[in-house]
């Protein structure tokens, strides 16, 4: 199962459709972290950075601070440009730019980690 965290529900649904696997959509990181603390551990997270409330980096910091979530792979999906290398310490395994990404790229990540 994967988590998709994006305050743009339409984009989240596009990612869900492209991933072609069981997915939960969250519009903010707080709800997603709450689900995690209740025992739902996803195989992979697609994470937007600019979110309602705390941003994606706040979520990433939360994620890496707990032993049970530190190893969950994360793919950043954002309109901003980020270096995969700089984000590796947060468990980020990929960066997709919303302006240019392809549905196949989402599917590849979903297949690799689920």
Partner 1 sequence: MESEVDGSLVAAHELKAPLSVLRQLALSLDGLDVENGKIRSEMVAISERAIKQVNDLTRVRRLKDGLFEMEPVSVCAICDEVSRELYHLFNRNKRELFIKYTNRAKLVTANHDLLYSVVYNFLLNAMHYSGDDTRAELIVGDYHDKVKITIRDFGPALPIDVWREIRRGWVSKPTSIAMRPGSSGLGLYIASMFSKYMNASIGAIRHRDGTSFYVELPVSRQASLF
Residues contributing to the site for partner 1 (CB under 8 A)? 8, 10-11, 14-15, 17-18, 50, 79, 98-103
Name which of 36 and 51 has its Cβ closer to partner 1.
51
Name which of 15 and 72 has its Cβ closer to partner 1.
15
Tokens describing residue 74: 């994360």
Name which of 81 and 89 has its Cβ closer to partner 1.
81
In angstroms, give the least distance from the CB of 47 to partner 1: 16
What torsion, rounded to 10 degrees, do the Cα atoms 67, 96, 18, 15 define?
70
In angstroms, give the least distance from the CB of 20 to partner 1: 11
* Whole-number Cα distances in Å, 74 to 68, 106: 14, 12
Name which of 10 and 85 has its Cβ closer to partner 1.
10
In angstroms, give the least distance from the CB of 24 to partner 1: 19
Angle (CA) 32 106 1, round 5°: 40
In angstroms, give the least distance from the CB of 79 to partner 1: 6
Count CA within 13 A, CB hemisphere, residue 74: 28
| CB distance 47 to 76 below 8 Å | yes
């Amino acid at each position: 199962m994967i988590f998709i965290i994006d305050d743009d529900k339409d984009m989240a649904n596009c990612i869900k459709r492209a991933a072609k696997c069981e997915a939960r959509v969250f519009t903010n990181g707080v709800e997603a972290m709450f689900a995690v603390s209740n025992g739902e551990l996803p195989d992979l997270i697609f994470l937007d950075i600019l979110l309602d409330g705390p941003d994606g980096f706040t979520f990433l910091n939360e994620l890496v601070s707990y032993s049970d979530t530190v190893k969950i792979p994360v793919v950043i999906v954002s309109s901003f440009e980020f270096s995969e290398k700089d984000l590796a310490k947060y468990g980020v395994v990929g960066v997709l730019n919303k302006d240019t990404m392809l549905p196949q790229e989402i599917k590849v990540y979903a297949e690799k980690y689920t």
